[in-house]
Structure 1
């Protein structure tokens, strides 16, 4: 009998984590003989669209996911996610490996308990919520906060067959001082993979303007928004530069305009499609990241991989996660200590043709290559 993995996506709505979902699913199809993919129908459609050609060893099965737009539907969304998690745990064979691609924190205790009494092999994937292990400015509800608090305690006892997964070696390394030893000793990792485009088209605009864009959601509560405003103000003296924020905007567009930050039309009202994002990025000369230095210790950045996919040079402030990626792929851009250093760099920069070998970088970050490293992790814990 061949090896089987049950891939559970019972939280995604629309384009949420779409590239991670598609690329990690593809990665598991390279490792296991059979992969059962549980997700909603819209997510299935979107995931297979990104994959382009569905691997033959992936079989889809339907799971309901509530599109939470209001507070009451948000509670229903979480309850449905917990119920479908329990359904999968009960339904599957104890020889199979179950991968939850996003761990609903407030349901985590129930999932851990059920996997223990059913003797299941389970991998719980953790994303950005881990940042709130050390960041007091948490928007999480009380149940989720309690779950994070619990994994910090020495008495936390995970199920024998449960392991916890993070996106990258640097994240696992940073995690050690924030969680209990029982949690840390059962933490595994794989690097963020990506399904890259082979051919990237640029929009060439010969008007003497250098276009720089920040990628990702822009929210009032995001720590780096003050960094964006500071940077934009520093650009006042550089008339040859235009500054964009590309992604979903949850902020007053008039304030952004006043600060000299341009946005893509309607991005303050809806999420942009991947096609719209790619088109907007194609007109840029540089991609900018201004995440705070104390951020991205326990989370990965999907937008960083969007930047690599677009084959644009990256200008970024230093932080643990970006330092780690730039150390591996040294020529994808430049890291800086502060916003002033970036502005000084731009004062003397001219448009230039990139000499970066993106083909090699993309090959190293492909699901097939990443799967080779993660396969070794899985063999160590007897999940293969």
Structure 2
């Protein structure tokens, strides 16, 4: 069977320099395409034997060994790719020759992220960087051929152990899927394991706290653990305002108008401006944490999402809450309360939560059969004649 590629050393007589010397190139033919790469050596035309592909004359022993090593190295690389049914393109060969190891998934990830990041906002860039960090924690070295469905499933199990929450797992899957798709487009990978993997969140399993659960949570007594107390208050404030974790972390005194009881904040994730009214409970929390602070200071001390989530698990145990409590549950709680318990029009809730599409807000309507039962018992009453 004829090889689809060939590797040879050639003399570029068409590139003769002022000194009369010509550069040596490595020429790779792959199917109908030709790639010429510099061997970083120059000789006079009469010092090159075209038939044997070697330099002739005295003093060329080391150069001939060097050229043969390059040729054999590229031959071996191409042969391994073909024998293992891996993708082989001119660009892949060029990157390999230049020391870029495209067998390494992290190299592929970084190249694709460099392309994607030009169109991404800071919060999304942060999420891709976090994904790469988690991948490195999961496995320090990853070959491209390893990234199959089993790899994806094992990585998901790793994320569950890290307790990043359903929403976090879904986001990491979405971003990894995007990187792999872009790699396939650039012919750096052959197939996407996500073809056989569903990772979108199921709205029927939306986690939120009921008013009774929220009240129980707010009454948790803490002695001297300032970390738990801070997370508890940050979570409650998010339940009362619908602000995301990133927005709680960046909320400044200047974003809050106590006189008019209103937060006006640019969302970190979307860049959209949201206006959220403050109820009495939220106002008291602002006064407590904002006392003596300037406009540019943060209302709450910043806390990593992972740390907040770990503390929330501890807090949930104290009230025997049988729910997977993560910080994002606070935002679900706000949306659910506004739509289902306080009958706030979805269009208004959409603006308060900064959603770009009303269908996102609509997922909070009747997310639980208990809510529907309560509505039928208490609000849908009439006499039968």
- TM-score of the aligned structures, taking structure 1 as reference length: 0.28
Q: Which has the higher strand share?
A: 1
Relative contact order, CA 8 A, sep 6+: which one is greater?
A: 1
Q: Normalised by the size of structure 2, how large is the TM-score?
A: 0.28
Question: Rg: which structure is higher?
Answer: 2
